[in-house]
């Protein structure tokens, strides 16, 4: 028999009310019900975030395999060692690897390890470290200033980066020390190999260290079809925050130092920030499952292909405007407000506040072709002539 779900259970177990309301722009009572606590009810796969997806089978099985008997704690276990080795194999170099719970911690702690409090970090003005980490990079680096650099499609513009660095050189200016880039970007675009090399070279010339927010690094690798080393250390990246969660893991990111000197005492930094898991094997084991048979690349490639399919199906719909090139696992579009309302009323969830606005449709490792087709069909209906009040149609 179907059980009903208590409102607080939905709120606690799925996503915090404040975040959800902001994301969906809906009053609580009108949010589409997901009833995830009831195992009898099929939950629809959504296009809101790759964080909505569950755990992929490879990560799940590796987790179960680690759930045997006892093991040493705080990372002194065989799974942590093996996962670190797999990451070294993946990047074909002797990097230093640390596992933390989430991307905010990975970015903030990595950035903090690259600079002193009187330095500055340069990043794109819509970078996650600037807009979505609640000031954690500044907090963990004891006040290091973040300086914002513009650029089209979520990518740093090289000339603007250089201008920001050279703007001042006196003692009153926060000394530029790190450039942070996001691959794939917050807008679903991907830096090419040449673009990355150019940033890496210019950063060296300007005396900057290079951090990469790789929450969707795997999607970028899948899109570019290159070896992971080509768009990381070979392009001049010093530290990569390699995302696991959005790739199909339950949680966890790996902080990968290609320059081992910069990893000095990073373990203490993790411990102080509450990021040293006592049962570390459960943070580490899913990486083994993801890396041993190429699941990381399969899942990322699949998510990208689903986004490409979605883009193909919706890009010519009248009244819809695609905002950025589709290069990873998301499609950003501008929609009339009534079409957004209509999609919500049909039960679809998606964000409208990421990056520079617009609607973000994001695919995951488990998005199916049928999901894409259903979503696209509903979108076509929501935009169909007559479905919207005429004032809501886009011109241009």
Ligand X SMILES: Cc1ncc(COP(=O)(O)O)c(C=O)c1O
Binding mask 280-319 for ligand X (x = CB under 6 A): ----------------------------------------
Stretch that binds ligand X, among 53-61, 99-107, 307-315, 378-386 (CB under 6 A): 99-107
252 binds ligand X (CB under 6 A): no
What is the β-pairing status of strands 119-124 and 145-149?
parallel
Q: Using the rule CB under 6 A, which residue among 80, 144, 180, 182 binds ligand X?
A: 182
Contacting range for ligand X; rule: CB under 6 A; set: 25-33, 62-70, 101-109, 145-153: 101-109
Q: Indicate the residue among 90 and 354 with the shorter CB distance to ligand X.
A: 354
Binding mask 54-93 for ligand X (x = CB under 6 A): ----------------------------------------
Q: How far apart are CA 276 and CA 73, in angstroms?
A: 10
Distance in Å, CB of 103 to ligand X, minimum: 2
Instruction: Take residue 170 and report the two structure tokens written for it.
Output: 């006196």
Q: How far is the CB of 238 from ligand X (least distance, A)?
A: 17
Bridge partners (DSSP) of residue 214 are 242
**Quick one: angle between helices 369-383 and 295-314, nearest 10?**
20
| 55 token code pair | 């755990």
Q: Which of residues 82, 84, 104, 234 is near ligand X by CB under 6 A?
A: 104
Residues near ligand X (CB under 6 A), total? 9
Verify binding: residue 186, ligand X, rule CB under 6 A.
yes
User: 131, 306 in Cβ contact below 8 A?
Assistant: no
Q: How far is the CB of 106 from ligand X (least distance, A)?
A: 7
CB-based closest residue to ligand X: 103
Burial of 250 (0-12, 13-18, 19+ CB in 10 A): middle
52 neighbors 248 (Cβ within 8 angstroms): no
Residue 269 and residue 112 in contact, taking contact as beta carbons nearer than 8 Å: yes
Q: Is 128 in the site for ligand X (CB under 6 A)?
A: yes
Cβ(392)–Cβ(334) below 8 Å: no
Q: Identify which of residues 90 and 110 has a Cβ nearer to ligand X in the complex.
A: 110
SS3 113: helix
Binding ligand X by CB under 6 A: which of 215, 255, 306, 333? 215
- Shortest separation between residue 329's beta carbon and ligand X, angstroms: 11
Q: Which tokens hold the place of 103?
A: 């991307």
Should residue 46 be labelled a site residue for ligand X when binding is judged by CB under 6 A? Answer: no
Q: How far apart are CA 222 and CA 210, in angstroms?
A: 22
- Residue 213 touching ligand X (CB under 6 A): yes
Quick one: tokens of 278? Answer: 């006592």
Please identify which residue in 102, 141, 247, 364 interacts with ligand X, judged by CB under 6 A: 102
- 290 with 247: CB under 8 angstroms? yes
Residues with Cβ < 8 Å from 168, sequence gap 6 or more? none
To ligand X, the closest distance from the beta carbon of 243 in angstroms equals 7
Specify the stretch interacting with ligand X by CB under 6 A; choose among 100-108, 159-167, 257-265, 342-350: 100-108
Token match 């203490």: residue? Answer: 268
Q: Minimum Å distance from CB 14 to ligand X?
A: 15
- In the numeric block, the tokens 């009810």 are attached to 41
- Three-state DSSP state, 310: helix
State the nearest-atom distance from the C-beta of 338 to ligand X, in Å. Answer: 28
CA dist 388 and 380 (Å) reads 12
Number of helices (H), then strands (E), in the chain: 15, 10
**Residue 155 binds ligand X (CB under 6 A):** no
Q: Which is nearer to ligand X, 93 or 356 (CB)?
A: 356
Q: Which residues form the interface with ligand X (CB under 6 A)?
A: 102-104, 128, 182, 186, 213, 215, 245
């Amino acid at each position: 028999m179907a059980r009903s779900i208590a409102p607080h259970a939905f709120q606690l177990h799925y996503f915090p009310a404040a975040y959800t309301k902001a994301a969906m722009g809906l009053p609580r009572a009108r949010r589409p019900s997901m009833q995830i606590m009831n195992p009898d009810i099929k939950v629809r796969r959504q296009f809101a975030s790759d964080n909505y997806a569950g755990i992929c089978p490879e990560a799940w099985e590796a987790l179960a395999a680690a759930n045997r008997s006892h093991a040493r704690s705080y990372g002194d276990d065989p799974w942590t060692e093996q996962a670190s080795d797999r990451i070294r194999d993946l990047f074909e170099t002797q990097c230093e690897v640390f596992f933390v719970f989430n991307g905010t911690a990975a970015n903030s702690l990595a950035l903090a390890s690259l600079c002193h409090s009187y330095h500055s970090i340069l990043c794109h003005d819509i970078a996650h470290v600037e807009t979505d980490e609640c000031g954690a990079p500044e907090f963990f680096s004891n006040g290091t200033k973040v300086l914002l650099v513009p650029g089209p499609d979520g990518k740093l513009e090289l000339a603007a980066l250089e201008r920001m660095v050279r703007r001042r050189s006196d003692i009153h200016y926060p000394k530029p020390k790190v450039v942070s880039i996001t691959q794939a970007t917050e807008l679903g675009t991907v830096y090419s190999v040449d673009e990355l090399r150019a940033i890496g070279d210019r950063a060296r010339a300007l005396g900057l260290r290079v951090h990469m927010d790789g929450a969707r690094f795997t999607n970028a690798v899948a899109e570019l079809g290159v070896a992971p080393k080509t768009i990381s250390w070979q392009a001049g990246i010093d530290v990569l925050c390699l995302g696991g969660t959005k790739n199909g893991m339950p949680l966890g990111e790996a902080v990968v130092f290609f320059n081992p000197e910069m990893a000095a005492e990073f373990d203490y930094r993790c411990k102080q920030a509450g990021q040293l898991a006592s049962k570390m094997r459960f943070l580490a084991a899913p990486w083994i499952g993801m890396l041993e048979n190429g699941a990381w690349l399969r899942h990322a490639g699949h998510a990208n292909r689903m986004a490409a399919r979605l883009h193909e199906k919706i890009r010519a719909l009248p009244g819809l405007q695609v905002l950025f090139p589709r290069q990873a696992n998301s499609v950003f579009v501008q929609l009339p407000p009534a079409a957004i309302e209509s999609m919500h009323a049909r039960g679809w969830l998606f964000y409208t506040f990421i990056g520079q606005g617009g609607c973000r449709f994001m695919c995951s490792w488990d998005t199916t072709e049928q999901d894409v087709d259903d979503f696209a069909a509903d979108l076509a209906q929501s935009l169909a002539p007559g479905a919207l009040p005429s004032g809501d149609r886009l011109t241009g």
